[in-house]
Chains A and B, each alone.
Chain A
Amino acid sequence: GQQVMQIPQYQHVQEGEDFTTYCNSSTTLSNIQWYKQRPGGHPVFLIQLVKSGEVKKQKRLTFQFGEAKKNSSLHITATQTTDVGTYFCAGDSADSGGYQKVTFGTGTKLQVIP
C-alpha cells in the first residue's frame, strides 16, 4: 500500500533558526496536505497543494509540492516557540478512486529552544 515517510523524525532548533521537514510518498499523489498538531492537541489543517511544482506561503511557512508529485516540503523561517508541535503531511494517492482517503506521513516533531 501507499507509504508516506517524513524526515527528520525529530528536530530541535534554537529560536530564530530555520526548520525544514521533508515528505516522500511511494506513489504519485493527486494532492498533498499539511497539518500541525500541538502537544496534547489534535491535528489542524494548514494547507493543500495540488499542482506539480506548486509553492505556497503562509507568513513564515513555505510549502512546496515536487514536480513529480511524490514529495513535498515545509520550511519555517525564523522559528518561534509557537511553532512547537508535530507537522504531518498527508497525501491522496492519484489512483485512490476518488474516495479521498489520505495517508498521513510519519510526522516531524519540532522543538524550539528559546
Chain B
Amino acid sequence: SQTIHQWPATLVQPVGSPLSLECTVEGTSNPNLYWYRQAAGRGLQLLFYSVGIGQISSEVPQNLSASRPQDRQFILSSKKLLLSDSGFYLCASTGRSYEQYFGPGTRLTVT
C-alpha cells in the first residue's frame, strides 16, 4: 500500500509571505496527484491535479500554483499569501482503482 507524506503539519504565516507545501508518495509509481483545500467544517475543494511529471491542471483561479518536479513529488506554492488562503491542505494520490489516498494534511493559518 502507498503512503502519502506531507509537511509541515501546521503552519502560521503572515499575509503577503510565500508558501511552499510539499507532498511525497511512497509505494506506487506514476500516480495521479491532487491538492485539495478544506475550510473548517466544509467539503473538499480541488485545487490542482496532475497526471504526470510537469503536467498540472488548475481547477480554481487563485494565487496558488502547483508543480510536479518528480513522479512522486507534488508541491503547492504561493508568492504572496492572502487571508482567504487559510485552510486544511490535503494531498492525495490514486490507487489501482483510482481510489484516493490522502496525506495527513497541513493546517495553514494566514494572519
Residues of A within 8 A of B (CB): 31, 33, 35, 41-45, 48, 88, 90, 92, 99-107, 109
Mostly, the A contact residues are strand
CA distance A101 to B92 in the complex (A): 11
Q: With CB as the reference atom, state the residue of chain B lying closest to A50.
A: B97
Contact, CB under 8 Å: B99 / A107? no
Enumerate 10 A-B pairs (CB-CB under 8 Å) in ascending A order: A35-B100, A41-B104, A42-B104, A88-B44, A90-B100, A92-B98, A101-B57, A103-B46, A104-B36, A104-B43
Interface contacts beyond A44-B102, A109-B41: sample of 20 additional A-B pairs, CB < 8 Å, sorted by A: A33-B100, A35-B100, A41-B104, A42-B90, A42-B102, A42-B103, A42-B105, A45-B100, A48-B97, A48-B99, A92-B98, A99-B49, A99-B57, A100-B98, A101-B49, A102-B100, A104-B36, A104-B43, A104-B44, A104-B46
Asked whether any CB of chain A lies closer than 8 Å to the CB of B19, the reply is no
CA distance A75 to B36 in the complex (A): 27
CA distance A42 to B103 in the complex (A): 7
Residues of B within 8 A of A (CB): 32, 36, 41-44, 46, 49, 51, 57, 90, 94-95, 97-105
CA distance A53 to B94 in the complex (A): 25
Q: Which 10 A-B pairs have the closest CB atoms?
A: A100-B98, A42-B102, A104-B44, A45-B99, A106-B43, A107-B43, A42-B105, A43-B102, A48-B99, A104-B43
